[in-house]
Structure 1
């Protein structure tokens, strides 16, 4: 078998759904092996787990090699960030560091192998890419939320510091207390304590909750959903171009060209 046939065979294998599901199963098994190492288990079982971990690493090396050889354009393989991530994780996992000072780093790298699930499953890639692309817009929401936090923390430290210094002693502690209020972690206990001195302090807490938990959370969800819809639409357009299916934009362009041709003939 020459290289061209081998590349074609690996290309079909890497795009095979059964092969992708098998890789996902191995990734899940790898996660279970990593979790098993955290328990107090006998030495012989630990040795068996070590051999299984080595076998999993070798399988991942074979899987990355299949994907690389099956890639028609080798230069584009590492232009994909997920391919680079997978390759780095697999290569670093091959370095024997268990009995060295780098053992902790080696274990951390093996834990990150679970993230390869994202690179294998397209839906997870789409979700993560949407979250990353939404970060610039989310940054402004987070900045505005920080401003609200800072204002309420300053007010809380000024009025409630004498009531409970542990919760409202300074502005940094007050911001942590407000985070507790925003996440509904026993926030009523905090409110009732201040209401004994300031009966209308409930307005402070309720207004803060409405601004942060309800308003800002909905803004974050709206931004992420909007970006995900854009990603889905772009993926659909790319898939249509790949399959040769006409898109709405291409149909509009063809209609416009036909109108221009008709006008030119008239």
Structure 2
């Protein structure tokens, strides 16, 4: 497996290219994934006082050895890729997670002891499928932001209407704008909205369905489908980019082969 396409290895020394191929290769990556899983199990066992009383020393030692391997991995990547290591967001994520683990978790840094569990999230950077999912979500954020703005406008309009119409009869749900927004959020999630809010209000306002049905259709179904559509589109875009990078890699290899053949012909 060659280095990830977000790291350009052009003009690198041959030994650094070979090191980059090895540290990003399948065997070493699988080894790191196995260590991440073992580390996750150890961190879970450390939450048990009984287990720590029986094998606390062994768990802490194993945890320290795994952390040492992670540090060596980061150092190897720094040697292989140089400053270009920091051009990859995933490398920055790994560097940050491993760096937090190296800070002594004592005194004001006691909270960092709990943050060690972030090492489990390194699976996101090591497994290509998970990495693709996160990248698709990140790429879809601009579209999701505009959709979220649309949802906020819908919430605001219905909250103002609900407060004006129902605050006298049902102040616990519609007494002010904040309470109305919270009630609408509960309705959007479809959590006990019928028995808890709609049915009691229907006894006073038989036409209440005119208010609830459009809001549920717009917020729970239309907007949710917009979120899904945006993420799916971003995922397809990432797959297209990966295919383009693969084609470029093949063309690069073909050019290299062609140059080698030309040099051989010139020598002959």
> Displacement of 1:9 after TM fit?
5.3
1:138 corresponds in structure 2 to 144
5+ residue gaps in structure 2? 1-12, 254-268
Kindly indicate whether residue 101 of structure 2 is the aligned counterpart of residue 83 of structure 1.
no
How well do the aligned residues superpose, as a CA RMSD in angstroms?
Answer: 2.2
Change (3 A) 1:146 1:50: same
Q: Which structure 2 residues correspond to residues 48-197 of structure 1 after superposition, within 5 A?
A: 48-71=58-81, 74-97=82-105, 99-108=106-115, 110-189=116-195, 190-197=197-204
- Select which of 229, 234, 256 maps to 2:241: 234
- Select which of 11, 20, 29 maps to 1:11: 20
The question of whether the paired residues in 1 share the 8 Å contact of 2:100 and 2:112 is answered with no
> Displacement of 1:135 after TM fit?
1.2
C-alpha separation in 2, matches of 1:196 and 1:40: 55
Change (3 A) 1:59 1:205: same
C-alpha separation in 2, matches of 1:52 and 1:154: 58
Change (3 A) 1:150 1:58: same
C-alpha separation in 2, matches of 1:204 and 1:183: 16
User: What count of residue pairs does the alignment treat as equivalent?
Assistant: 239
C-alpha separation in 1, matches of 2:39 and 2:175: 47
Kindly indicate whether residue 232 of structure 2 is the aligned counterpart of residue 222 of structure 1.
no
> Displacement of 1:113 after TM fit?
1.4
TM norm structure 1? 0.82
C-alpha separation in 1, matches of 2:179 and 2:222: 24
> Displacement of 1:161 after TM fit?
2.2
Greater mean alpha carbon deviation, residues 39-48 or residues 137-146: 39-48
Change (3 A) 1:202 1:245: farther
- Select which of 45, 48, 55 maps to 1:45: 55
Q: Secondary structure in 1 aligned to 2:151?
A: helix
> Displacement of 1:138 after TM fit?
1.3
- Select which of 13, 20, 23 maps to 2:29: 20
